[in-house]
Amino acid sequence: MRYFTLSILVLLMFLLTSCASVPYTMTGTPKDPKPLDPSVDVVVVNAGSVPVLPRDYTYLGTIETEASVGCSSGGTINQLRNMARDVGANVVYVKRVGSGVAVLYTGFTVMASNCLTLLADFIYADAPLIAKWQEEDKKAKTADGAKE
């Protein structure tokens, strides 16, 4: 009985930790990143809306997220912002948006989730356009906070 209980606890811990993060593949990041200050806003920009980046920018890596059980678009976006801040990027430039199905088999039931998948570049740019995007992002966050 003790072995069975321990096995169930380990299985539950594994399942809960898999829901806590977005699986991803990251390439091209610097070996010694200089994280941004937490007060700096990281903006997410869709390449379909803004096909050209500012002239002088620094490329800091590419990330491709995958579907995982328990995913949410808000969680994926927030995690990308945090990861971008960790490598020193102030822009997440989303080049491809898609969706994937994550399937979890739990004994007798099957759970399927439709998850947001992204291919994005992390960049740092010090341009007036970036400052404008950061201001617009702040206003949108403030408006969302007021609605709740």
Q: 15 lies in a domain?
A: no
Q: Taking a C-beta distance cutoff of 8 angstroms, is the pair 89, 33 a contact? A: no
Q: 11 lies in a domain?
A: no
Domain count, the chain: 1
Residue ranges making up the domain that contains 130: 21-147
**pLDDT digit string, tens, across residues 3-52:** 666 556 555 555 554 444 557 777 777 888 889 888 888 988 888 888 88
Q: 13 lies in a domain?
A: no
Element (H, E) at 70: none
Q: How many CA atoms lie within 13 A of 24 on its CB side?
A: 22
**pLDDT digit string, tens, across residues 119-129:** 999 999 887 77
Q: 14 lies in a domain?
A: no
State pTM to two decimals: 0.70
